[in-house]
Amino acid sequence: MSTIATRAASGVAVLALAFGTVAGTGLPAAADTAKPAAPISALPQGGFSARSVDALTIGATQVGAARVSPDKATKKKKKKSSKGAKALAFAKRQLGDRYRYGGTGPSAWDCSGLTRGAWKHAGKKIPRTSQGQARAGKKVTKSKLRKGDLVFFYSGKSHVGIYAGKGKVIHASRPGKPVGYIKMKYMPYAGARRPA
């Protein structure tokens, strides 16, 4: 067999394997890929040239690329973070900061200073005090809380924290106690608001 025919036969075998893989009909696991299914002499002896093998290879590459490339309509769009998620992320970065009455950052906070700073970072201005924040945005029921929501405690809504999920808030509570997590059930719940 001539060198060209041998190369052509090898090329056809490789292309068949490539097309089978692209189409999802690859060889079974038990197939012996080292030996062709039919003797080389059974393959067509004429009609192949280096040029025709190159054309087949290029065609296979184009078909493979067309099958593998993702459809533009089904590409996943990156989800933009909600403002609430951004506010919560800011509050998390303040964990461990000290409490200071009237503190508005960058390293010491009171409860409403922390929540205001978090929402300012998220691109939303809210009032300075917890009572003012209790009128910002829209009212949210306890069962519909989302991360980043403002959660109020005690009579007169005198304390506020950022909802962190799983029944917890991040808050700045009192002198000597750093910014941290607390379970909502440890304080008397007084309502919640979603600034944006």
Q: Is 171 a catalytic residue?
A: yes
Q: Which of 111, 150, 160, 170 is catalytic?
A: 111
Which residue from 48, 123, 53, 60 is spatially nearest to 86, judged by alpha carbons?
123
- The answer to whether residues 40 and 137 belong to one domain is no
The boundaries of the domain holding residue 66 are 3-74
Q: Which of 55, 74, 93 is the last residue of a domain?
A: 74
Q: What is the pLDDT of residues 156-189, one digit of tens each?
A: 999 999 999 999 999 999 999 999 999 999 999 9
Q: Which of 116, 157, 168, 171 is catalytic?
A: 171
Q: Which of 86, 159, 168, 194 is catalytic?
A: 159
Q: How many structural domains is the chain composed of? A: 2
When comparing pLDDT for 117 and 53, which is higher?
117
Rounded average pLDDT over 42-61: 50
- The answer to whether residues 63 and 159 belong to one domain is no
Q: Please tell me whether residue 12 adopts helix, strand or coil conformation.
A: helix
Q: Is 121 a catalytic residue?
A: no
pTM summary value: 0.61
Q: Which of 16, 42, 74 is the last residue of a domain?
A: 74
Predicted pLDDT of residue 51: 53
Q: Is 159 a catalytic residue?
A: yes
Predicted pLDDT of residue 2: 52
How many other CB atoms are there within 10 angstroms of residue 182's CB atom?
Answer: 17
Q: Give 31's pLDDT tier (boundaries 50, 70, 90).
A: very low
- The answer to whether residues 109 and 62 belong to one domain is no
- The answer to whether residues 36 and 125 belong to one domain is no
